[in-house]
Amino acid sequence: MPSYYDRSTYLRGVKDGLPFILVVAPFALLFGVVATEAGLTVFETMTFSAVVIAGAAQFTALQLMNDNAPTVVVIASALAVNLRMAMYSASLTPHLGALPFWRRAFAAYTLVDQSYALSTLEYEKNPDMTLAQKTSYFFGVITPVLPNWYLWSLIGAMVGQSIPPELALDFAVPITFIAMIGPMLRTGAHVAAAFVSVTCAILFAFLPWNLGLIVAGVVGMMTGAQVELWQERKSGSEDAS
Amino acid sequence: MIDKSDLWIIIIAMGIGSFGLRFLFLGLVGDREMPPWVLRHLRYTAVAVLPGLVAPLVLWPAATNGQPDPARMAAALVTLGVGYFTKNVLAAIFSGAATLYLGLFLLG
């Protein structure tokens, strides 16, 4: 059996992953708090966190469950938030696609924003990395990240109900999301998609079961894709002239 | 109150769905190419869904019974601005939280 472990590359992954504890811990803590406030038990909260490992999608699901949205709408909206994972999966496939089936399955389970972002950056910087090095780096990054995701979800779920309302924790979720949106607005197409999404969400807020969010998501994606095409054509015609 | 059987259906469906999305290409597509139009739409999923999710929460916060609240709106704008210009998620979260508490303190 070939080895997929390269010690120094693994350790470099661990080192690069360490700062992300600062992002993951408060987010997981918050999920634990918000989930128990919504009436989930510690066991339910932990199962949720361990099975899904996607803070944004979990917050979306909780929010919609609190609004009494139908189960199908909760699942569809939360998975829509997670669609970017398919994008990550697609972009990592050329690098890790040659791994044996179970390793690919485990890499998929641990594919989160942090492991994706750091790994693609590393693979682009060092195109000569072997499969063993790429694999070691990827799993190195998640080594400090994932256990902290579990741990801080648990702490949040256990201290949850003791947090007073004056702390305005209701607004921690919007702030965390907005903080992630800011750096995502890299191009005009991203800004246009976000702007259209906000506009549609407000215009269609009257729709039942949060269907306004689905409309906003679909129209926003189409806007981003169209603006990108338009920008490509524009720069193409400028090159030609 | 959240119904417990609904909750477990949601947890299980989200677990299978999230893993499915993560495994879709890595596990099943392998090295085959995807159509460019699919990739082009996938690139914008996060920026198309998250802002739409947040906008109503900012405009009509549940904590104020849906009344627009200046402290929360200011916090949202500061968070977005700091996140956009610094590309630093943590800095944006802390600036937004500071703005929120300052706003709640000053405006009561």
The count of CB pairs under 8 A between chains A and B is 286
> Which among B37, B43, B84 is the nearest to A182, CB-wise?
B84
Listed by number, the residues of chain A in 219-238 with a beta carbon closer than 8 Å to a beta carbon of chain B are: 219-225, 228-229
Looking at the fold, whether A216 and A125 belong to one and the same domain comes out as no
Q: Is the CB of residue B35 less than 8 Å away from at least one CB of chain A?
A: no
Q: Please give the distance of CA B33 from its chain centroid, rounded to a whole number.
A: 30
Rounded CA separation B8/A58 (Å): 13
Smallest Cα distance from B68 to chain A, Å: 13
Q: Is the CB of residue A121 less than 8 Å away from at least one CB of chain B?
A: no
Question: What pLDDT does residue A132 have?
Answer: 94
B45 and A63 within 8 Å at the Cβ level: the answer is no
With beta carbons under 8 A apart, name residues in chain B contacting A82: 17-18, 21
Looking at the fold, whether A11 and A58 belong to one and the same domain comes out as yes
* DSSP code, position A207: S
Looking at the fold, whether A163 and A192 belong to one and the same domain comes out as no
How do the domains of chain B map onto residue ranges?
51-107
Rounded CA separation B70/B86 (Å): 24
A202 and B59 within 8 Å at the Cβ level: the answer is yes
Q: Which of A133, A152, A183 is the last residue of a domain?
A: A183
Smallest Cα distance from A141 to chain B, Å: 17
> Which residues constitute the domain of residue A236?
185-241
* Higher pLDDT pick, B24 / A151: A151
- B42-71 pLDDT, tens digit per residue, is 778 778 888 998 898 899 987 788 889 999
- A96-123 pLDDT, tens digit per residue, is 888 888 999 999 999 987 788 788 878 8
Is 70 exceeded by the pLDDT of residue B31? no
> Which among A75, A81, A198 is the nearest to B55, CB-wise?
A198
Low-confidence ranges of chain A (pLDDT < 50): 241
Least CA distance to B62: which residue of chain A?
A170
Question: What pLDDT does residue A241 have?
Answer: 45
Task: Give the pair of three-digit tokens for residue B44.
Answer: 């914008």
Looking at the fold, whether A168 and A232 belong to one and the same domain comes out as no
- A171-198 pLDDT, tens digit per residue, is 877 887 798 788 889 899 999 999 999 9
Task: Give the pair of three-digit tokens for residue B83.
Answer: 């996140």
Q: Please give the distance of CA A213 from its chain centroid, rounded to a whole number.
A: 17
With beta carbons under 8 A apart, name residues in chain A contacting B42: 83-84, 86-87, 90
* DSSP code, position A209: G
Percent over 90 (pLDDT), chain B: 46
Q: Which of A143, A159, A183 is the last residue of a domain?
A: A183
Question: What pLDDT does residue A68 have?
Answer: 84
Assign A206 to helix, strand or coil.
coil
Rounded CA separation A175/A89 (Å): 27
Question: What pLDDT does residue A133 have?
Answer: 95
Q: What angle do CA A224, A228, A229 make, to 5 degrees?
A: 120
B10 and A216 within 8 Å at the Cβ level: the answer is no
A173 and B57 within 8 Å at the Cβ level: the answer is yes
Looking at the fold, whether A159 and A202 belong to one and the same domain comes out as no
The whole model's pTM is what? 0.72
Question: What pLDDT does residue B95 have?
Answer: 95
Question: What pLDDT does residue B1 have?
Answer: 67
Least CA distance to A88: which residue of chain B?
B22
Max distance between CA atoms of chain B, in angstroms, equals 58
Average pLDDT, chain B: 87
Looking at the fold, whether A85 and A29 belong to one and the same domain comes out as yes
Q: Mutate one of A180, A181, A210 to test the B interface: name it (highest B CB count within 10 A).
A: A181
Looking at the fold, whether A26 and A140 belong to one and the same domain comes out as yes
ipTM of model over 0.90: no
Q: Residue A211 domain-assigned?
A: yes
Looking at the fold, whether A175 and A206 belong to one and the same domain comes out as no
Q: Residue A2 domain-assigned?
A: no
Each as own residue / partner, the long-range contacts of residues A212-216 (CB below 8 Å, 24 or more positions apart, any chain) are A212/B52, A212/B56, A213/A77, A213/A80, A213/B49, A213/B52, A213/B53, A214/A73, A214/A76, A214/A77, A214/A80, A216/B48, A216/B49, A216/B51, A216/B52
Looking at the structure of chain A, the number of domains it has is 2
Is 80 exceeded by the pLDDT of residue B32? no
Smallest Cα distance from B77 to chain A, Å: 9
Question: Residue type for A167, please?
Answer: L
Q: Is the CB of residue A89 less than 8 Å away from at least one CB of chain B?
A: yes
Is 50 exceeded by the pLDDT of residue B9? yes
> Which among B10, B17, B55 is the nearest to A201, CB-wise?
B55
